[in-house]
């Protein structure tokens, strides 16, 4: 392959990546931020098997002999007005699933609890615990959350947690009230 063809291919690849990020940013704008400096959520694992360093055994996708589920999380510092927590799961090392909930977005209706404990949600299922919902399917296998599936190559997984006011009618706006991030671990 000539140097010119490689240059054209590189520009096309870069442009495709930028288009994907722009689309992801547009999709992520469903919730309007209430300020430029949103409060930070405090996030911790509710299950000690999750340590943020290594994905626990069995928490992988079915093609890796796992039956993974999301980790149960404790979310604190939730602003008043929050009616839901959205958790976006991503793989930082696999570009197509590295942003905007590539591994799925799961929502949890919350009451006045602060902190709130978010239950574990099974992977690749629409049978979710009461009070939880699929905000967006994963972009790999389609249904809900897809557990880590890198084949043990050391990919790093993380989640972005958003405290939101999820509009209840077309006359309301959905608002982003606070955010936080937690490293899930590598697999």
Q: Are residues 13 and 43 in the same domain?
A: no
DSSP for 21-57, please give it. Answer: HHHHHHHHTTSEES-SSPPBPEEEESSTT--SSBPPT
> Do residues 2 and 36 both lie within one domain?
no
- State both tokens at 106: 């799961």
Query: Residue 165 pairs with which residues in a beta bridge?
Result: 175
Q: How many CB atoms lie within 10 A of CB 18?
A: 10
- Each of the 187 residues of the chain gets a pLDDT tens digit; together they read 444 433 333 333 333 343 333 333 334 458 999 999 999 999 999 999 999 999 999 999 999 999 999 999 999 999 999 999 999 999 999 999 999 999 999 999 998 889 999 999 999 999 999 999 999 999 998 899 999 999 889 999 999 999 999 999 999 999 999 999 999 999 9
DSSP, res 179: E
Q: What is the tally of structural domains in the chain?
A: 2
SS3 157: strand
Residues 39 and 22 in one domain: no
Q: How far apart are CA 87 and CA 121, in angstroms?
A: 11
For residue 11, give its domain range: 1-30
Decide: 181 and 169 in contact? Cβ < 8 Å: no
Give how far the C-alpha of residue 181 lies from the chain's centroid of Cα atoms, to the nearest Å.
Answer: 9
Would the CA dihedral through 80, 85, 88, 89 be positive or negative?
positive
The C-alpha atoms of residue 92 and residue 144 are separated, in whole angstroms, by 19
Say whether both 95 and 134 belong to one domain: yes
pTM for the model stands at: 0.84
pLDDT for res 113: 84
Residues 66 and 93 in one domain: yes
Judgement on whether residues 16 and 104 belong to the same structural domain of the protein: no
Q: Report residue 165 as tokens.
A: 């006011």
- For tokens 């939880």, what's the residue? 132
């Amino acid at each position: 392959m000539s140097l010119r063809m490689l240059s054209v291919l590189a520009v096309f690849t870069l442009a495709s990546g930028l288009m994907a990020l722009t689309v992801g940013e547009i999709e992520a704008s469903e919730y309007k931020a209430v300020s430029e400096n949103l409060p930070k959520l405090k996030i911790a694992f509710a299950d000690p098997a999750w340590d943020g360093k290594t994905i626990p055994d069995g928490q992988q996708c079915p093609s890796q002999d796992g039956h993974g589920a999301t980790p149960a999380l404790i979310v604190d510092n939730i602003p008043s007005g929050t009616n839901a927590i959205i958790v976006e799961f991503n793989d930082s090392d696999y570009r197509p699933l590295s942003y905007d909930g590539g591994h799925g977005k799961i929502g949890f209706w919350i009451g006045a609890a602060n902190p709130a404990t978010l239950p574990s949600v099974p992977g690749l299922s629409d049978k979710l615990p009461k009070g939880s919902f699929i905000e967006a399917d994963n972009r790999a296998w389609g249904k809900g959350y897809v557990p880590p599936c890198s084949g043990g190559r050391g990919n790093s997984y993380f989640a972005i947690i958003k405290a939101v006011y999820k509009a209840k009618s077309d006359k309301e706006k959905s608002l982003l009230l606070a955010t936080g991030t937690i490293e899930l671990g590598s697999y």
